[in-house]
């Protein structure tokens, strides 16, 4: 469905759940909540003001609040990333401490912890570049406190990779 969003005409429109939609445009995107879902959201986060205006949650930061407000519709990895996003104080986002003590906050942390156990030995993809003097993609990866840059044949399509997966993708 091609519709107007705060970021321009929607190129893709995906229903996540009743009243929760994901949009992408040529330049940006995010979530749209229906009136009923937005009212539910405001009961959980009454002081939160979406950057793009009521009902719209942009993809850089605001998306994380939709994910933790409605965790039943998102993967453990999505919840893990949402919690990480809302913990970055420099982003200007803040989840009230009372939320984390609530049943919903505890549920979110549980889903995040379950996912975290599956990636403890994996590398996380960071920044990437390609250019004239680079063969394939130069990819910064990190695991625990270790960081390095490796060259991959193709653009990485996952957030996390095992050693074996990276070995098969490297030059």
Q: pLDDT by residue (tens digit) across 4-24?
A: 999 989 999 999 999 999 999
Task: Kindly indicate the confidence band of residue 147, based on its pLDDT and cuts at 50, 70 and 90.
Answer: very high
- Check residue 171 and give its pLDDT: 86
- Check residue 49 and give its pLDDT: 92
| Angle made by CA atoms 39, 87, 139, in degrees to the nearest 5 | 115
Q: What's the pLDDT tens digit per position in 94-119? A: 788 899 999 999 999 999 999 999 99
Residue of higher predicted confidence among 86 and 134: 86
Is residue 90 predicted with pLDDT exceeding 60?
no
pTM over 0.85: yes
In terms of residues, how long is the chain?
Answer: 171
- What token pair was written down for 58? 């942009």
Q: Which among 58, 60, 70 has a CA at the least distance from the CA of 31?
A: 58
- Other C-beta atoms closer than 10 Å to the C-beta of 24 total 17
- Check residue 92 and give its pLDDT: 66
Long-range contacts of 92-100 (CB under 8 A, 24+ apart): 92/61, 93/61, 93/62, 93/64, 93/65, 95/45, 95/65, 95/68, 96/45, 96/47, 99/44, 99/45, 99/68
Q: What's the pLDDT tens digit per position in 51-65? A: 999 999 999 889 999
């Amino acid at each position: 469905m091609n519709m107007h969003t705060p970021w321009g005409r929607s190129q893709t429109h995906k229903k996540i759940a009743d009243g929760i939609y994901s949009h992408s445009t040529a330049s940006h995107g995010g979530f749209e909540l229906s009136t009923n879902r937005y009212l539910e959201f405001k009961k959980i986060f009454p002081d939160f003001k979406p950057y793009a205006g009521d009902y719209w949650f942009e993809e850089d930061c605001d998306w994380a609040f939709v994910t933790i407000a409605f965790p039943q519709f998102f993967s453990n990895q999505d919840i893990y990333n949402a919690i990480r996003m809302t913990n970055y104080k420099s982003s200007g986002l803040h989840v009230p401490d009372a939320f984390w003590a609530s049943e919903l906050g505890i549920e979110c942390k549980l889903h995040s912890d379950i996912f975290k156990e599956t990636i403890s030995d994996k590398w996380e993809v960071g920044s990437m570049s390609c250019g004239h003097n680079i063969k394939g993609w130069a990819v910064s990866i990190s695991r625990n406190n270790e960081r390095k840059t490796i060259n991959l044949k193709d653009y990485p399509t996952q957030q996390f990779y095992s050693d074996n997966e990276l070995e098969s993708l490297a030059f």
